[in-house]
Amino acid sequence: MFRRFVLFFSAATLLFGVLAPNAGAATMSVPCDTDSLVSAINAANTAPGAAVLSLATNCAYLLTAPASGMDGLPPIVDQLTIHGHGATIIRNSAQQFRIMQVVAPAGASIDHLAIEGGALPAAAGSLLGSNGGGISNSGSLSLSSVQLVANIAGTGAPGTTVGTAGGNGGGIFNSGTLRVRNSKFLSNVAGTGGNGAATLVGGGGGHGGGIASFAGSVTVIRSTFANNRAGNGGIPATFGGGGGSGGGFANLHSAVSITKSTFTGNHAGNGGTGSAGTGVGGSGGALSNGYGDVGGTVRISSTRFLNNGAGDSAVSSTTGGGHGGAITNESGNTLVLKNSLLSGNTAGSSNASGGTGGGLYVDGTTTIVRSKIMHNAAGTGTPTGTGGGIFNASGTTFSPRHTKIKRNAPDNCAPAGSVRHCSG
C-alpha cells in the first residue's frame, strides 16, 4: 500500500505540478500557492491510506472563491495530517464561504496553522443560518498550535413572518470528535438572527462564538478563547430576537473537557431591538452548557474566566439581561468546576431586570471544588440582578467545596441560602 501511495502522489506531481516529495516520501510539500493547496487536498482525498501535507513556512494561502459548495478548500474525506509551519489560510474575497470541512468518518490532524476570515452567507427562505464559519467537523479533528481568527457563522433568514436563527459556531461547529491543544480562538462570531417581517419577530442569535458542539465530544487543553461573541438577535420593526448563548463556547448534548485554559473578553449575544420590545440577552458570556436543552456534560479544571459578559437587552427593553457572565449550566445538564478562577465577569444589563449570576448561573447538576469566584457582578437594570457570584435557579441547595466566593456585587449568592457556605 505504501508503494501505491508514493506512485499516486508522483502521478499527481506530474499532473498538477504542485507536490514535491520530502525525504520521508509519505510527506508531501505544498508550495505557497492556493491552487497547489487545493490540488494537494484533492489528491490526498483520493490516495489510498493516510496522507501528510507540509505547507510552506509562513505562507498566506489566499482563498478567493469556494472550491466546493460553501467551503474554500475541498472537504476532507479521508485521513489527513496538515503541518502548517506558521502558514495562514484566509478568505480573501467579498464572496462568503467557510474555510474547511472535515466529513465523517474522515479524520484530520492540523498543527501550527491559522484559519482566518471564514464567513458564511446569510440564509434564505425558512432556512437557519449555516454553522461553522471557520471549520465544520463531523469526523475526528485534532488541532495543535492552531489559531482561528475572525470567522463568522451565517446570518439567519428574514423569514416571511419570523426571522430564523443565526448559525452556530463562529470558529468551529463540531458534531464529531474534536481535540484542541495549545490553540487560540480570537474574535470569532456566531450568526446574527434573521430580521423578522415588519410586524413580527426577529430570529435568535446563533450560539458559540468560538466553538459550538452538538452531540459530539470536545477536549480542550492549554488554549485561549478571547473576544469571541455569540450572535445578536434579529432586528425587526416590532419584537427583537433573543441573543445567542456561549460567547466563547456553547455545548449541546456533548461531553466536554476543558483544562488549563483561559476565557477572556468573550460575550454572549445582545437581544435585538424592536419598537414593541427587545429580545432577552444571551446567557453564558464565556460558556453555555445546554442553551435550552439537556444531556450535556462539561468538566473544567485549572481554567481562568476573566472579564466575560452575558448579553445585554438593548435600549427601551421590556426583557431582561442575560444570565451567567462567565458560565451558565442549564437544567438537565452537568457542570464540574475545579481549581478555577472566575473574576471580573458580568451578567447582562437591561432597562428592565438585570441578568443574574455574574460569575455563574446554575440550574443543572453543579459541582464546584477548590475554586475562586470573586469580583463578578450581576447585571444592572430595574431591578438590578442578584447573585453577583452565583445564582442558583435549580431550587436545590448545593455546596461548593473549599471555594472562595467573595467581593461580588451586589451580593455573593442568590437566592439567600441556596448556596451553602456563601453569605452576603
The full DSSP string for 40-77 is: HHHHHHHSSS-EEEEEPTT-EEEE-S-SBTTBSSPPB-
183: nearest Cα among 211, 151, 224, 216: 224
pLDDT digits (tens, 9 = 90+) for 307-343: 999 999 965 556 789 999 999 999 999 999 999 999 9
Helix extents (H) in 17-162: 34-46
Maximum mean pLDDT: which of 20-34, 100-114, 191-205: 100-114
Q: pLDDT: is 326 or 273 the higher one?
A: 326
Beta bridge partners of 328: 288, 361
Residue 65 buriedness (CB in 10 A; 0-12 / 13-18 / 19+): exposed
Evaluate whether 319 touches 278 at the Cβ level (below 8 Å): yes
Q: What is the pLDDT of residue 315?
A: 59
- Angle formed by the axes of helices 2-16 and 34-46, to 10°? 150
Residue 239 reports pLDDT greater than 90: no
Q: What is the pLDDT of residue 199?
A: 61
In which region does residue 381 sit, left (phi positive, over 0), alpha (psi from -120 to 50) or beta (all else)? left
The reported pLDDT for the residue numbered 49 is 87
Q: Are 222 and 182 in contact (CB under 8 A)?
A: yes
pTM of the predicted protein model: 0.93
pLDDT of residue 84: 98
If pLDDT is split at 50, 70 and 90, which confidence band does 19 have? Answer: very low
Tell me the pLDDT tens digit for each residue of 109-155: 999 999 999 999 999 888 899 999 999 999 999 999 999 999 999 99
pLDDT, tens digit (0-9, with 9 covering 90-100), for 68-90: 999 999 999 999 999 999 999 99
More confident residue, 26 or 341: 341
- Given a contact cutoff of 8 angstroms between Cβ atoms, the answer to whether 267 and 229 are in contact is yes
**165-174, 311-320, 381-390 — which is least confidently predicted?**
311-320
d(CA 187, CA 151): 7
pLDDT at 1 (0 to 100): 31
Give whole-number Cα distances, 120 to 7, 76, 361, in Å.
Answer: 38, 18, 31
Q: 3-class SS at 405?
A: strand
Per-residue pLDDT, averaged over 22-51, amounts to: 86
Q: Calculate the alpha carbon distances from 71 to 121, 378, 424 in Å.
A: 11, 41, 52
| Statement: residue 344 has pLDDT above 90 | yes
Residue from 126, 130, 191, 129 nearest 159 by CA: 126
- Give the span between the Cα atoms of 403 and 78, in whole angstroms: 46
Report which of 290, 299, 306, 312 is spatially closest to residue 379, judged by C-alpha positions.
Answer: 312
- Enter the C-alpha cell of residue 264: 477572556
Residue of 175, 171, 245, 177 lying closest to 213 (CA atoms):
175
Helix ranges restricted to H, 91-165? none
